[in-house]
Amino acid sequence: MKRFKLLIPALFIGAGLFMVTGCGDDDLSAPSIVLEGDNPQIIDLGDAYTEAGATATDNEDGDISA
């Protein structure tokens, strides 16, 4: 019975903490992806292609480039 009396308040505290920390604002803005290099890229037939790369940034996570 003593364990039951301790379990109920612990459950309420845990549920309260979950509700407080889980109610954040949604991230509604999309990340920004920027392609590097010339625009337009001109590649002659038979020439080797080298990827110029890209960068991706997010307002909450910062640089998310892979």
- 66 by DSSP, 3-state: which? coil
Q: What is the pLDDT of residue 14?
A: 78
Does 21 score more than 80 pLDDT?
no
Q: Over range 4-24, report the average pLDDT.
A: 75
SS3 56: strand
Res 6: pLDDT? 77
- The separation between CA 17 and the C-alpha centre of its own chain, rounded to angstroms, equals 23
Assign 22 a pLDDT band (cuts: 50, 70, 90): low
Name the phi and psi angles at 9, rounded to 5: -65, -35
Q: At 8, is the secondary structure helix, strand, or coil?
A: helix
Q: Domain total for the chain? A: 1
Domain that holds residue 17: 2-63
Q: Tens digit of pLDDT for each residue in 23-64?
A: 667 788 999 999 999 999 899 999 999 999 999 999 988 899
20: its two tokens: 């407080």
